[in-house]
Amino acid sequence: MEMVDMLGKLNLSPSTKNKIDPTQISVEKNVIAFDDRTIQISNVSQLFVAEPDSKIPWLAALLFMFFTGGFVQGYFWGILGMIITGFYIFLVIMSNLNKGYYIYVNLNSGFTYLIHCENQAFAERARGVIENCINDVYSKEKVVINMKQENIQIDNQVINMDQSINDSTVVSGDNNEVKK
């Protein structure tokens, strides 16, 4: 019991899944850094994007089936119970639809991080960039993935979701012009 309490205080659960909602992810050399934790790239075994598990409480499903039996026998409480538990199950399903998407980061140790992302297309793009960092495509660049603004910065280039690239190179001095 003491071990479970200690894991709870460290924000680690024995279920080996940890949901995080970072403002940004930065990847440089062999490190993936979140707001409050760091992962070594060589420890990542798998990356994928998926919707979160949708769970309907088993008690609500059991009560719905129980009240269905009462409805078959013609009891008013059976109808009322079916309506209430059916509405509750509907609310649970609707809340599951609005959870967004997760980038699942499976580590070699069996531990899984779930990185929350609202937009599926951006989650796939971020997963692809992290995968390219693992494969040394961006080995010399610093990659910053801004999860809130949904843009990706590779060195001085900001890549937006519409695939446009904005050069954010700093130019100092007077009378500097960019000629087309």
- Give yes or no: residues 44 and 124 share one domain: yes
Domain assignment of residue 69, yes or no: yes
In a domain, 6, yes or no: no
Residues 79-137: pLDDT tens digits? 777 788 888 878 887 877 777 888 999 999 989 998 988 888 999 999 998 898 888 88
Of 41-45, 68-72, 151-155, 169-173, minimum mean pLDDT range: 169-173
C-alpha span between 46 and 48 (Å, rounded): 7
In 10-56, where does DSSP find H-type helix?
none
Q: Are residues 69 and 37 in the same domain?
A: no
Domain boundary among 41, 71, 97: 97
Token look-up 């280039």 returns 157
* 62 and 47 in a common domain: no
Q: Is residue 106 domain-shared with residue 160, that is, in the same domain?
A: yes
Better pLDDT: 150 or 81: 150
At a CB cut-off of 8 Å and minimum separation 6, what does 72 contact? Answer: 78
Paired sense of beta strands 44-50 and 101-107, if any: antiparallel
Q: Are residues 81 and 26 in the same domain?
A: no
Report the mean per-residue pLDDT for the chain: 77
Say if 78 falls within a structural domain.
yes
pLDDT per residue over 11-44, tens digit each?
444 445 688 888 889 998 889 998 888 899 888 9
Beta carbons of 14 and 7 less than 8 angstroms apart:
yes
| pTM score | 0.63
Q: Which domain holds residue 154?
A: 11-52+102-167
**Euclidean distance between CA atoms 124 and 128, whole angstroms:** 6
**Spatial contact of 154 and 177, defined as CB atoms under 8 Å apart:** no
Tokens matching residue 62: 């059991």
Residues 41 and 112 in one domain: yes
The count of structural domains within the chain is 2
- Regarding predicted confidence, which is higher, 165 or 44? 44
Residue 10 has pLDDT above 60, yes or no: no
Residues 39 and 75 grouped into a single domain: no
pLDDT tens for each residue of 62-76: 777 777 776 666 677
CA end-to-end span of the chain: 68
Total residue count of the chain as it appears in this document: 180
Tokens of 44: 């990542």
Give CA–CA dist 110/44, Å, rounded: 10
